[in-house]
Amino acid sequence: MALLEISNVSVRFGGLQALSAISLDVETGYVTGLIGPNGAGKTTLFNVVTGLQPPATGTVVMDGLDITYAKPHRRARAGMSRTFQRLETFGTLSVRDNVLVAAEMRHAWAHDKTAPADVAEQVIDRIGLGAVAAERVDTLPTGMARLVEVARALAG
């Protein structure tokens, strides 16, 4: 069984068929890429998977649970997160503080007792951002800032 199963997802925007019966499985332990030209529907599919766009048809199943109509915050609490094309970081904060914000938000609703600062440090180490943890994000190259977004997604 795949960790994420997208089955026959279709989306229409008025007269425009954005997605037509898209199916995709994402296996545990693998990196799965989605490529295509501008306008192919990649962002629309991500929006369906993360709950920002309801599908006209089809299902989204995560870890055996149908999440097709679950709200985005429910999906996040189940472990789903995403980043966006445009950088969405707190530029004037350090890398550490950016990740800590996400860890604090998670701590507000999670039932575990792990200290947010510990979560932030673990994620920073895991992503390999330790050398720049004290740096302001707006001083980092774009690629490093993207890693900060990944770290924030994992901390959340």
Token pair in block for residue 122: 């673990």
Asked whether residue 11 falls in the same domain as residue 66, the answer is yes
Residues in Cβ contact with 95 at an 8 Å cutoff, skipping those fewer than 6 apart:
124, 129, 132, 133, 134, 135, 137, 140, 148, 151
CA distance 68 to 60: 5
Q: What is the pLDDT along the chain (156 residues), one digit of tens a residue?
A: 789 999 999 999 999 999 999 999 999 988 888 899 999 999 999 999 999 999 999 999 999 999 999 998 888 878 787 777 777 788 889 999 999 998 888 887 777 778 888 889 999 999 999 999 999 999 999 999 999 998 998 888
Is 60 within a domain?
Answer: yes
The predicted pLDDT at position 42 comes to 93
pTM of the predicted model as reported, rounded to 2 decimal places: 0.69
Is 88 within a domain?
Answer: no
* CATH number of the CATH domain containing 26: 3.40.50.300
In sequence order, the β-bridge partners of residue 5 are 25, 61
Is 84 within a domain?
Answer: no
The predicted pLDDT at position 99 comes to 93
Is 82 within a domain?
Answer: no
Residue range(s) defining the domain that contains residue 17: 4-77
Is 62 within a domain?
Answer: yes
| Segment (H or E) for 100 | helix 95-109
| Segment (H or E) for 65 | strand 65-66
With a pLDDT cut of 90, the percent of the chain lying above it is 61
Residue after which a domain boundary falls, among 12, 46, 77: 77
Provide the domain count of the chain.
2
CA distance 111 to 31: 29
